[in-house]
C-alpha cells in the first residue's frame, strides 16, 4: 500500500514485482499480466513526459474501461498529471461545460470522444495536445502507440506531489461539480476497500463501473471487464455478466442497483447460481430489499450484498450488508424509517446538522442534531475531498471547516443516526417537499409505498404552490401498466396507515422514471415534479 506522499501508480509497480505473472486484466479474448501492465504504464508515462506532460498538467481522459484505460490512467498519474474524469453519461452539453471549466492541456480519448470534442468545441482555448486510441480523423496529434514509442526511458514511480485527479459528479441534482482528488485520497480509498471487503490479491472481479476497474487492479485483483455500455448499466446483458462471473470464478461483482435489478430478475427466472462470488457490492442509490432478496438465492450461503454509502466527494462513508438489512432494516424502511446505510467506516466522522440551504463556515456543536433527529449528513476523514475545482460557490455551500483544520463535506443528503450508531438515509436535501406546514423527506415516504408488491419503485414530489401545494406520490409499477382503481385504494390505505404518509392523498402511476446516467438508479424527482404538475393541472 502506498503512503500519502507516494504516487498511487506505485501500487501497480509493487504488484508487478510481487506477482508478475498473475493476470491483471481480461478484456474480450485478451489477457494481460501485472508485469505487462507495469511495462505499459512505465512506457506510456515516459512517452507522456516526452510530450511535455508534467506535474500538475490537467489531462482529460475519455477511454472506456479496457486495458488501455487502466494503463493510461496509471501512466498519467505516474508522470504527475491531474486526470480530468468525466462520465460521458452526463450529456454532451455538460461534458463541454466541464471541460471548458477544467481547462485541460491534453485530451486523451477514443475516436468517438475526439469527434465529440471537435463538434462541441470542448476546451478549445486550453487544449494543445491530442492523443487518440483508434483512427485519427484529421485532428492530428498522436496515437497511443506513438506515445509509447516516444518513451526513451520507462518511468518508475516517483513523488509527483499531492494532486491526482478531478472527478466530476453526475449532476443528477444540479450542475456537475469537479471534486479534487489527491493521491492520498485514492490510497485511503484503496485501503478502506481492502479492509471493508477483505479483498485478497489474486481474486477475480467483474467491475461494471469504470473507476472500480482501477481499484480492482490496484488491489491485486484480476479485473474481467464486461462488454457493455458503461453509461447504461440497467441495460447490461445479465447473461453475459453472470457468464463472466461463472467462467472466471469471480469473487466480486460491483454493480449499481439498476444493474442488480436487471441481473436478479434474470437470475430468478433462469435459476441462476453464482457460487464463486464472495461479495456483491452496490452503491450509487439505495438498494431496495426486494432486489437484495432476489440476489441472495444466486449466491452461496453466507455471502452478502454490501451497500456502501458515499458520494463522488466522499467515498466510502458508511457500510452495511444484507445480513443487517434483512435482519430489521428493510422492515423498518417499509414503516417509513428511511434506508439504513450502516455504520461509519474506519476513520470517517459523521455529523448530523440542522438543515440549512445556505453556507456554514464552522462546524460546532450548535449545528448538531440529537440522535434520531433528521438533518443533513456531514462527513470528515482522509477519503473526503477538501474542495471543488475552481468552484468557490460549491465550496461555500458544501464544505465546513472543523477543529484542527478538518474539512467536513455536506453530503446534500438528509438522514439521522439511530441509537445503535447506524446512519439512515432519508433522501436528497434539495428534494424534500414542504406542504401544509409539514416537511416530507422522500425516501422514508417512498419506503412505505415500495413495500406494496405491485410497486417497482416510487418517488415523492410536490405539486402546486403556496397554500395549494401538496405532496404527490408517483409509482412505477411492476407490470408496467397504468393505475387501477383497486390498486389506488390499496396504496392510499397503506399511506393512511402511516403517520409519515397519512397526508399523501394523491398517487399517480408513471410509465418509466427518469434516472441518472451514471448508475441508472437516482430518480430525477425534479423532472417528475414538472410531470405531476402538468398531469394535475
> What digits encode the pLDDT tens for the residues 212-221?
999 999 999 9
Beta bridge partners of 37: none
Pair 383, 177: CB distance under 8 Å: no
Residues 412/311/384/230 CA torsion (nearest 10 deg): -150
Burial 61-98 (b: 16+ CB within 10 A, else e): bbbbbbbbbbbbbbbbbbbbbbbbbbbbbbeeebbbbb
Give the cell for residue 122. Answer: 470542448
**CA–CA gap between residue 84 and residue 72 (Å, rounded):** 13
432-536 fold: GMP Synthetase; Chain A, domain 3 (3.30.300)
Nearest to 409 by CA among 281, 312, 296: 312
Is residue 167 helix, strand or coil?
strand
pLDDT < 50 positions in the chain: 1-5
Burial 386-419 (b: 16+ CB within 10 A, else e): bbbbebeebbebbbbeeeeeebbbbbbbbbbbee
pLDDT in tens, 413-452: 999 999 999 999 999 999 999 999 999 999 999 999 999 9
Per CATH, the architecture of 10-181 is what? 3-Layer(aba) Sandwich (3.40)
Kindly report the number of other CB atoms within 10 A of residue 11's CB atom.
Answer: 24
Q: What is the pLDDT of residue 519?
A: 64
In Å, how far are 65, 326, 347, 474 from 417, measured between CA atoms? Answer: 37, 19, 17, 28
Kindly report the number of other CB atoms within 10 A of residue 521's CB atom.
Answer: 25
Pair 297, 531: CB distance under 8 Å: no
DSSP secondary-structure letter at 409? E
Rg of the chain on CA atoms, in Å: 23
> pTM for the complete prediction?
0.94
Beta bridge partners of 336: none
**CA–CA gap between residue 120 and residue 114 (Å, rounded):** 10
For the chain, the domains span: 10-181, 432-536
The DSSP element (H or E) to which 59 belongs, if any, is: strand 58-62
In this structure, what are the phi and psi dihedrals at residue 375, rounded to the nearest 5 degrees? -150, -160
CATH topology of 10-181 equal to that of 432-536? no
Give the cell for residue 182. Answer: 489527491
Beta strands in 68-126 (DSSP E): 82-85, 106-110
In this structure, what are the phi and psi dihedrals at residue 376, rounded to the nearest 5 degrees? -90, 140
Q: Exposed, middle or buried: residue 137 (CB in 10 Å: 0-12, 13-18, 19+)?
A: exposed
The DSSP element (H or E) to which 380 belongs, if any, is: strand 375-380
Q: What is the pLDDT of residue 91?
A: 86
Chain Cα centroid distance, residue 7: 23
Q: What is the pLDDT of residue 431?
A: 96
Amino acid at each position: 500500500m502506498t503512503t500519502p506522499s507516494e504516487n498511487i501508480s506505485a501500487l501497480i509497480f509493487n504488484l508487478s514485482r510481487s506477482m508478475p505473472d498473475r493476470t491483471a486484466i481480461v478484456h474480450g479474448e485478451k489477457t494481460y499480466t501485472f508485469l505487462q501492465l507495469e511495462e505499459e504504464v512505465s512506457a506510456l508515462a515516459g512517452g507522456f513526459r516526452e510530450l511535455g506532460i508534467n506535474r500538475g498538467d490537467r489531462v482529460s481522459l475519455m477511454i472506456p474501461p479496457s486495458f488501455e484505460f487502466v494503463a493510461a490512467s496509471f501512466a498519467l498519474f505516474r508522470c504527475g498529471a491531474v486526470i480530468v474524469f468525466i462520465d460521458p453519461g452526463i450529456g454532451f452539453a455538460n461534458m463541454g461545460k466541464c471541460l471548458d471549466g477544467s481547462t485541460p492541456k491534453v485530451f486523451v480519448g477514443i475516436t468517438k470522444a475526439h469527434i465529440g470534442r471537435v463538434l462541441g468545441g470542448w476546451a478549445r482555448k486550453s487544449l494543445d495536445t491530442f492523443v487518440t486510441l483508434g483512427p485519427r480523423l484529421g485532428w492530428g496529434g498522436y496515437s497511443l502507440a506513438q506515445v509509447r514509442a516516444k518513451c526513451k526511458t520507462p518511468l518508475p514511480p516517483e513523488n509527483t506531489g499531492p494532486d491526482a485527479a478531478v472527478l466530476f459528479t453526475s449532476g443528477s441534482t444540479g450542475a456537475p461539480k469537479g471534486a479534487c482528488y489527491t493521491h492520498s485520497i485514492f490510497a485511503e480509498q484503496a485501503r478502506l476497500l481492502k479492509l471493508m471487503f477483505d479483498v485478497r490479491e489474486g481474486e477475480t472481479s467483474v467491475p461494471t463501473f469504470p473507476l472500480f476497474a482501477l481499484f480492482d487492479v490496484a488491489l491485486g485483483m484480476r479485473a474481467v471487464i464486461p462488454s457493455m455500455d458503461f453509461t447504461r448499466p440497467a441495460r447490461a446483458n445479465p447473461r453475459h455478466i453472470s457468464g463472466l462471473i461463472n467462467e472466471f470464478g469471480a469473487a466480486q461483482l460491483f454493480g449499481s442497483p439498476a444493474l442488480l435489478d436487471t441481473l436478479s430478475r434474470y437470475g430468478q427466472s433462469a435459476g441462476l447460481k453464482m457460487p464463486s462470488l464472495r461479495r456483491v457490492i452496490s452503491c450509487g442509490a439505495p438498494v431496495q430489499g426486494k432486489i437484495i432478496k432476489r440476489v441472495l438465492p444466486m449466491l452461496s450461503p453466507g455471502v452478502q450484498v454490501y451497500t456502501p454509502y458515499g458520494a463522488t466527494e466522499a467515498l466510502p462513508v458508511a457500510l452495511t450488508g444484507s445480513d443487517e438489512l434483512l435482519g430489521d432494516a428493510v422492515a423498518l424502511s417499509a414503516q417509513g424509517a428511511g434506508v439504513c446505510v450502516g455504520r461509519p467506516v474506519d476513520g470517517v466522522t459523521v455529523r448530523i446538522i440542522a438543515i440549512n440551504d445556505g453556507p456554514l463556515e464552522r462546524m460546532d456543536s450548535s449545528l448538531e442534531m440529537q440522535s434520531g433527529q433528521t438533518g443533513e449528513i456531514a462527513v470528515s476523514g482522509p477519503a473526503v475531498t477538501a474542495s471543488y475545482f475552481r468552484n468557490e460557490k460549491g465550496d461555500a455551500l458544501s464544505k465546513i471547516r472543523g477543529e484542527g483544520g478538518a474539512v467536513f463535506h455536506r453530503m446534500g443528503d438528509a438522514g439521522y443516526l439511530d441509537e445503535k450508531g447506524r446512519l439512515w438515509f432519508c433522501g436528497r436535501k434539495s428534494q424534500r417537499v414542504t406542504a401544509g406546514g409539514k416537511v416530507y423527506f422522500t425516501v422514508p415516504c417512498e419506503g412505505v409505498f415500495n413495500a406494496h408488491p405491485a410497486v417497482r419503485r416510487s418517488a415523492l414530489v410536490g405539486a402546486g404552490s403556496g397554500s395549494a401545494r401538496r405532496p404527490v406520490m408517483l409509482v412505477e409499477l411492476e407490470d408496467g401498466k397504468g393505475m387501477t382503481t383497486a390498486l389506488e385504494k390499496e396504496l392510499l390505505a397503506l399511506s393512511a396507515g402511516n403517520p409519515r404518509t397519512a397526508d399523501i392523498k394523491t398517487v399517480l402511476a408513471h410509465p418509466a422514471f427518469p434516472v441518472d446516467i451514471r448508475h441508472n438508479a437516482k430518480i430525477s424527482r425534479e423532472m417528475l415534479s414538472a410531470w405531476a404538475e402538468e398531469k394535475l393541472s
